[in-house]
């Protein structure tokens, strides 16, 4: 049995509060157990210098934690004057993942800034960020689409992420909390689209290794959790948006 009483394949309780803030084009507060992240999507009417003139858009993400999101207070990265390697890895992962389900050509030279700010951390902050940011981004695109600032709704599929890992006496478990994460021998983050394809797969033996069989077990557990996350995302999105996304998905398959 797990520390918090869950089954091996059981997700924590998850909520997504939409339109959480007043100013951003899209914003949610996602809670995955005690992990809480504010995800916002902001639209800027230009792209970074390296992309100008190509006529396509860009999605970029930033990630941060409040200093006391964690058990011990962390020094702010602004006070340190630099961003840690961990933060950079995470924000690159979030941006790359979201870009996989967006047709960047169809939004023109716009940048969508995704901000994921962890208010409270209890493991899985990067996967919660991706799952929440997908919803915030979707709402920002819905707003642009409604205002006719974009002609085509650009999202082609759902996108969510979760973690899986191997615990010594338990085996493969889904959606690790912080206590589990710090003891796990293998830790894997899986980002998947609604149709069950992988976008990112990052598995790490923490001073340990894992076999092909263990890999398969982990992937199966992840897939089970992700399917529930897609259902949750649908439950907070407008019917109209769901139709647009699923319509895009079918077109893609047909091609």
Q: Measured from the CB of residue 148, what is the shortest distance to a second copy in angstroms? A: 22
CA distance 140 to 120: 24
Q: Residues 21-24: contacts with CB within 8 Å, 24+ apart? A: 24/136, 24/140
Count of beta carbons in the 10 Å neighbourhood of residue 128: 31
Token pair listed for 158 = 């759902």
CA distance 236 to 220: 26
Residue number, 6 or 99, with CB nearest to a second copy: 99
- Return phi, psi of residue 92, to 5°: -65, -40
Binding residues: 86, 124-126
Q: Measured from the CB of residue 239, what is the shortest distance to a second copy in angstroms? A: 25
Binding residues for phosphate: 86, 124-126
Q: Hunting for tokens 């019917």 — which residue is that? A: 239
Q: Measured from the CB of residue 218, what is the shortest distance to a second copy in angstroms? A: 10
Residue number, 82 or 148, with CB nearest to a second copy: 82
Residue number, 5 or 81, with CB nearest to a second copy: 81
Q: Measured from the CB of residue 80, what is the shortest distance to a second copy in angstroms? A: 8
At 250, is the secondary structure helix, strand, or coil? Answer: helix
CA distance 199 to 126: 14
- Describe the crossing of helices 125-146 and 239-254 by its angle, rounded to 10 degrees: 100
Residue number, 3 or 240, with CB nearest to a second copy: 3
Q: Answer whether 59's CB lies under 8 Å from 155's CB.
A: no
In the complex, which residues of this chain contact a second copy (CB under 8 A)?
A: 21-24, 27, 34, 38, 40, 42, 44, 62, 64, 66-71, 73, 76-86, 88-89, 91-92, 96, 99-100, 104, 113, 115, 117, 119-120, 122, 188, 193, 195-212, 215, 219
Beta bridge partners of 44: 111
Residue number, 7 or 105, with CB nearest to a second copy: 105
Residue number, 115 or 175, with CB nearest to a second copy: 115
Q: Measured from the CB of residue 17, what is the shortest distance to a second copy in angstroms? A: 13
Q: Answer whether 50's CB lies under 8 Å from 68's CB.
A: no
Q: Measured from the CB of residue 84, what is the shortest distance to a second copy in angstroms? A: 8
Q: Answer whether 175's CB lies under 8 Å from 32's CB.
A: yes
Count of beta carbons in the 10 Å neighbourhood of residue 30: 27
């Amino acid at each position: 049995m797990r520390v918090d009483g869950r089954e091996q394949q059981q997700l924590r309780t998850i909520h997504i509060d939409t339109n959480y803030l007043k100013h951003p084009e899209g914003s949610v507060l996602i809670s995955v157990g005690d992990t809480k992240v504010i995800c916002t999507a902001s639209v800027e009417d230009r792209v970074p210098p390296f992309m100008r003139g190509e006529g396509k858009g860009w999605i970029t993400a930033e990630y941060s934690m409040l200093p006391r999101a964690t058990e011990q207070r962390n020094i702010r990265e602004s006070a340190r004057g630099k961003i840690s390697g961990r933060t950079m890895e995470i924000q690159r992962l979030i941006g790359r993942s979201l870009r996989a389900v967006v047709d960047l050509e169809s939004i023109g030279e716009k940048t969508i800034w995704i901000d994921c700010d962890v208010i409270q951390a209890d493991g899985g902050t990067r996967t919660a960020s991706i799952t929440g940011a997908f919803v915030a981004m979707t709402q920002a695109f819905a707003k642009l689409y409604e205002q006719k600032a974009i002609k085509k709704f650009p999202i082609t599929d759902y996108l969510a992420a979760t973690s899986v890992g191997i615990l010594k006496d338990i085996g493969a478990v889904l959606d690790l909390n912080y206590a589990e994460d710090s003891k796990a021998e293998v830790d894997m983050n899986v980002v998947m689209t609604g149709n069950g394809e992988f976008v990112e797969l990052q598995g790490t033996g923490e001073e340990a290794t894992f076999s092909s069989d263990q890999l398969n077990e982990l992937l199966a557990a992840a897939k089970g959790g992700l399917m529930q996350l897609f259902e949750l995302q649908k439950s907070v999105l407008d019917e109209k948006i769901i139709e647009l996304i699923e319509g895009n998905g079918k077109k893609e398959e047909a091609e």
